[in-house]
Amino acid sequence: MFDTQHVGHFSPKVAFALVSFALGELGDGLNIFQGIYLVNMGWSEGSVGIALSLMGLTALLVQTVAGDIVDKTLFDRRLFLVVASIVTALSASAILLVQGDSEQGLMYGTKVIEGIASSFIGPCLASLTLANFGPEHFDAIMASNILWGHIGSVISALLAGSVAYIFYPNIQYCFFVIGLSALIAIVFVRFVPQGDPLMGRGFQGDVAMDEQGNLERVPSSMSDMPPPSSSDIGNQKEGLFTGDPKLTPTEIPEASSYLEVFSDRKTLVLCITGWSFHFANANVLLVLGELMGQAGDNDDDGPSRSAIPLIAGAIVLAQATMSLATIVGGKLTDRGIGRKPLFMAGLLTLPLRCALIIMWQDMGDSWLLSTQILDGLGGGFFGLLHPLLVADITFGSGRFNVIMGLTASCFGLGGTMSNFFGQMVVEYFGHTASLAGSFFISIFPIILFGVAMPETLGNRGQQFLKHEETKTKFVPLS
């Protein structure tokens, strides 16, 4: 049947919010602490850039495959989420074992493992959301998930900053927060229903939940099915509500070809836009942390104790603004505001942020810290609209998660290159040159998305659903 079981007193929407809160961004916001900690141990900026970019490079190679696995798996996707969370937490916490620059191999290796494991988290969470709430309520629940993820990141940064400040100069203890957040998420995963696994990969389904957890018919121009009856809801097919008594667990709908979804113009524009945005953006926070960490009350090259609250504050301010941007973006989406103007607004924040940091780098930490508001606005709109755009582009194709993985890989490639080249520029030419490079690169995605991306709101899955009647509806698994 369609698995909507409630465990304890949690509704499905609350269960997803709890998991998203606990996962947060699973330590991504703490990369700045990792970078400063490694510099304090004698690592060069170039070595730090390599270490922090390895996770993104690994994710680049794995995320598309991970999305395809999440699409095709016959296993419960909640199990994937639990295993990925455990491995990610353990590998991220391995920095505690690094004692100096002689252990670069350990850091590099664990970052590779972290990149592999974390590649499954985003697709699993998005897939479970789509599987439970369908295309009609996906936007609202994903907005809630993303909001609570940002709130979790704020709490994580506050805890990490407090621990780093209290135990300074032994700031490595703040990394226990990474493992703790993931392990708490594992506890809450059991409260999340499985939903309709086929709808979770982007196939047209018959039944989904609304935001209150009540079952309703999934609208479809090709289906004249009445709303689900109580007998339908009780129809069990190995844990999957199908609406088709002839469908067995060894049959699945026919998916669109990889070529068809990979070569779609909207997919290509989103990939290139996201790559160039992250290529310009990812290194900016690290540079900002290095600028704020320069002033201090110590004589070595490490961050001063007084800089720790500023660094934590940079993360908290950005994540808090992302939370606000997610709320505003969700409400505007509900009112029919298109994806394109909101996405463009997010892209426009980056060149402005880079310019302000360059102009204000000698005006004090409070001025630098305030630029994180722009980071929060840009990241909030980008993070909210990414899964919504992918769902618009792919629904009906059966390739939702593989395109989530493909786009995430492109974004990860941009972030990886940003950390690597950005820190190399810092090492040889200074912080201003690195920020200037980010500024000029950030202009390109604005032009590309503005010119080449059509509005997708209201067109969810039309490209693929309109061909559904001409395709064999179900094909055996080979």
Per-residue pLDDT tens digits for 144-176: 998 888 888 888 878 877 887 787 777 777 777
70-85: buried (b, 16+ CB within 10 Å) or exposed (e) per residue? bbebeeebbebbbebb
CA-to-CA dists, residue 109 to 33, 51, 58, 106, 193, angstroms: 19, 9, 11, 5, 34
**Is the pLDDT reported for residue 245 higher than 80?**
no
Torsions phi, psi of 195, nearest 5? 70, -155
Mean pLDDT calculated for residue range 102-113: 81
Mean pLDDT calculated for residue range 72-100: 81
Q: Confirm if 309 and 164 have CB atoms less than 8 A apart.
A: no
Mean pLDDT calculated for residue range 127-138: 88
pLDDT bucket at 249, cuts 50 / 70 / 90 = very low
Which pLDDT belongs to residue 461?
59
Mean pLDDT calculated for residue range 347-355: 93
Which pLDDT belongs to residue 176?
78
pTM of the predicted model, to two decimals?
Answer: 0.77
Helices (H), 96-215: 104-118, 121-166, 176-189
253's enclosing H/E stretch is strand 251-253
Q: Confirm if 405 and 64 have CB atoms less than 8 A apart.
A: yes
- Kindly state which CATH superfamily the domain 12-199+255-468 is placed in: MFS general substrate transporter like domains (1.20.1250.20)
Check residue 3 and report its DSSP letter.
B
Torsions phi, psi of 110, nearest 5? -70, -30
Which pLDDT belongs to residue 279?
92
CA atoms within 13 A on the CB side of 29: 36
Q: Specify which residues 3 forms β-bridges with.
A: 195
Q: 185, 146, 150, 180: which is closest to 22 by C-alpha?
A: 185
Which pLDDT belongs to residue 274?
93
Mean pLDDT calculated for residue range 112-122: 85
Which pLDDT belongs to residue 204?
76
Which pLDDT belongs to residue 251?
60
Which pLDDT belongs to residue 453?
92
The mean pLDDT of the chain is 78
**Is the pLDDT reported for residue 101 higher than 80?**
no
Q: Considering only residues 368 and 242, tell me which one the structure prediction assigns the higher pLDDT.
A: 368
Which pLDDT belongs to residue 22?
86
